[in-house]
Amino acid sequence: MLLTSINVSKAQEQEYILYKNSTGISHNNIDAKQMMKVTPGEDYYHAKTYYISNNRLATEGNYLDNFCIQADGPFKNYDKIGYYLIQCYLKKVF
């Protein structure tokens, strides 16, 4: 019998959804204010965060962790109407 090991890189993982409420990550979409579409990259997780009220883009940027808590790099921010506000560089230092 031949046993093989298969390693799946983060880049091969599928996109997934996280919900955020006013206190952080929510476990359901009932009390959520924002929805994050997360796409795993090679060394990061790219997230596009949308306002649930109108499905418009709120922020876009990269995170170091799969729960999108440790921001890393430039982030684009938009208001609720969809106008581009500012790009800022975020890096969480522990």
pLDDT along the chain (94 residues), means of 10: 40 83 78 93 95 94 93 92 84 62
Three-class SS of 25-94: EECCCCCCCEEEEEEECCCCEEEEEEECCCCCEEEEEEECCCCCCCEEEEEEEECCCCCEEEEEEEECCC
Q: How far apart are CA 94 and CA 80, in angstroms?
A: 31
- pLDDT at position 65 is 94
pTM (whole model) above 0.95: no
- pLDDT at position 94 is 53
The SS3 assignment for 17 reads strand
- pLDDT at position 3 is 41
